[in-house]
Structure 1
């Protein structure tokens, strides 16, 4: 059974790149346009891995992580932030919110697949 991944980004081009990259390795990928959309989807679906942007309308990545961590189904789910923000301050906030890891845009497809493989075991 393929692992289910939720890719969250307000940029359609990034969503498409992430989706194509992950689907090329057989992952079942669902996309969300922002944190609120992602949270709504997570209430009705179970994902094995969440990859989220930080800067989005309606709900940013860190807020999404905090909300997901409150849900028992997502308390241990790997969540990686994919963002243009590379500052240590943001990374510390991400870790405090419950992020599993951090990837900086523009992303390298091979690196994304390596991280997905690592967090999904």
Structure 2
């Protein structure tokens, strides 16, 4: 899993949760290196914060989906700023799942497992 999150506490929480459920993770706090990290790491799933410094998570989702090598990697968007229409915009950018912060641990894990199940079928 590639975990893209600028908040260090959330980054640690997400990585710890994923590791506790048997997943290998790579943490990225700078959106400017996401595409390079994704190409190098070849994740099964990208967990993407939407509000990042320097570049929007929405723009990164679009860039991932436009990249021939990475287009098939599912993206789960995670954001604290869930306003009316945000989920529609996030899904329109290409995210397969959406979780709002603060996260429910069970919903987060269930969303990850659901996306991975779809990919492996």
1:60 corresponds to which residue? 56
Task: Answer yes or no: is the 8 Å Cα contact 1:52–1:80 preserved in 2.
Answer: yes
Task: Answer yes or no: is the 8 Å Cα contact 2:3–2:14 preserved in 1.
Answer: yes
What secondary structure is seen at the aligned counterpart in 2 of 1:82? Answer: strand
2:96 corresponds to which residue? 100
Q: How many residues of Structure 1 are paired with residues of Structure 2 in the alignment?
A: 117
Offset of 1:112 from its aligned partner? Answer: 1.2
2:10 corresponds to which residue? 14
Distance (whole Å) between structure 2 residues aligned to residue 100 and residue 34 of structure 1 = 22
Offset of 1:93 from its aligned partner? Answer: 1.4
Task: Answer yes or no: is the 8 Å Cα contact 1:35–1:63 preserved in 2.
Answer: no
Distance (whole Å) between structure 2 residues aligned to residue 110 and residue 89 of structure 1 = 24
Distance (whole Å) between structure 1 residues aligned to residue 96 and residue 30 of structure 2 = 19
Distance (whole Å) between structure 2 residues aligned to residue 10 and residue 35 of structure 1 = 8
Distance (whole Å) between structure 1 residues aligned to residue 108 and residue 114 of structure 2 = 10
2:22 corresponds to which residue? 26
Task: Answer yes or no: is the 8 Å Cα contact 2:45–2:116 preserved in 1.
Answer: yes
Match of 2:47 among 32, 35, 51: 51
Cα RMSD after superposing both structures: 1.1
Task: Answer yes or no: is the 8 Å Cα contact 1:8–1:33 preserved in 2.
Answer: yes
1:84 corresponds to which residue? 80
Q: Which runs of 5+ in 1 are unaligned?
A: none
